[in-house]
Amino acid sequence: MPQRSFWKGYLKLSLVTCPVTMMPATTESERVRFRTMNAKSGHPVASRYIDAVTGKPVADDDLTKGYPRGEDEHVILEEEDLDSVALDSTRTIDIETFVEAETIGWIFYDKPHYLLPSDAVGEEAFAVIREAMAATGRVGISRLVMGGRERAVMLAPRGDGIVLWTLRYGDEVRKADAYFGKLGSAKPEAKLMTLVKSLIDERTAEWDPKLVEDPVQDNLLEMIAKKRKSKKTIAAPRKGAPSSGNVVNIMDALRQSLNKKS
């Protein structure tokens, strides 16, 4: 079943403009979700906004935004006020900068989205932008308002479409040197390297999405199915924790790994 578009607007490069739609490239819809319940009555628990002073529930129509000026004073902002400061990037992805794709560190990548033309008229302009980026090996950098905040985004050609990555803010990224810089630079022994390389070769396989499946999710669904049939509490099996024995010599451990038959 086709999904609803996550965002609609325009992709622009100088005078070339086309209407586009954006869809999340990932989903959590298949994840097992729980509702908070009242253990005594067995009824679902509902959350409501409560007036912090009167203690009375607040209707949705009476909710608004306020900027705190002091402990008990706020500047009230209406929807019209927020609209008046909206940026052009609310509805337009205007590519003003291109960079070499490999120069953007992986740690800046946040969430991927699929970008595609929203009608047949805009397909040619969309294709020109996509193919030009692919031919030059460059990606576009732009800005886009998402979730009430303007985000830097990266546009990379991918097949017949474009993948739009939201990028993390600079102050969200921690420098690796602050952590890895504390590690020693000693070189491992040649024999250890040979053993580890052999172990890597032995365990190398083709990439398969099954490698990132969630066994806990499957166990939850199985347990829920059993509970529906028996209506009794079923404890999920737990694997024993590893024993805290003596530290094994790394060379011996690697040899055992290579000699172990699967």
Read off the pLDDT of residues 52-89 as tens digits, 9 standing for 90 and up: 889 899 988 888 888 787 777 888 877 666 556 555 55
Q: Confirm whether 135 is domain-assigned.
A: yes
Q: What tokens does 154 get?
A: 């990266």
Specify the pTM.
Answer: 0.65
For residues 107 and 251, the model is more confident at 107
Confidence of residue 234 (pLDDT cuts 50, 70, 90): very low
Q: Confirm whether 261 is domain-assigned.
A: no
Domain count, the chain: 1
Distance CA 121, CA 16 (A): 13
Q: Cβ atoms within 10 A of the Cβ of 219, count?
A: 13
Q: Confirm whether 260 is domain-assigned.
A: no
Q: Confirm whether 35 is domain-assigned.
A: no
Read off the pLDDT of residues 110-138 as tens digits, 9 standing for 90 and up: 999 999 999 988 899 999 999 999 999 99
Q: Confirm whether 101 is domain-assigned.
A: yes
The lowest-confidence range among 4-18, 25-39, 143-157, 164-178 is 25-39
Residue 118, domain extent: 20-26+79-173
Cα→Cα distances 180→55, 173, 176, 177, 183, Å = 50, 15, 6, 5, 5
The whole-chain average pLDDT of the chain stands at 81
Q: Confirm whether 112 is domain-assigned.
A: yes
N residues, the chain = 262
Q: Which of 127-131, 144-148, 210-214, 225-229 has the highest mean pLDDT?
A: 127-131
Phi, psi dihedral angles at 168 (to 5 degrees): -70, 150
Would you state the pLDDT for residue 235? Answer: 46
Measured at the CA of 99, the angle between CA 97 and CA 105, to 5 degrees, comes to 125
Q: Confirm whether 212 is domain-assigned.
A: no
Q: CATH number of the domain at 84, please.
A: 2.40.290.10
Q: Confirm whether 45 is domain-assigned.
A: no
For residues 133 and 255, the model is more confident at 133
Residue 243 has pLDDT above 80, yes or no: no
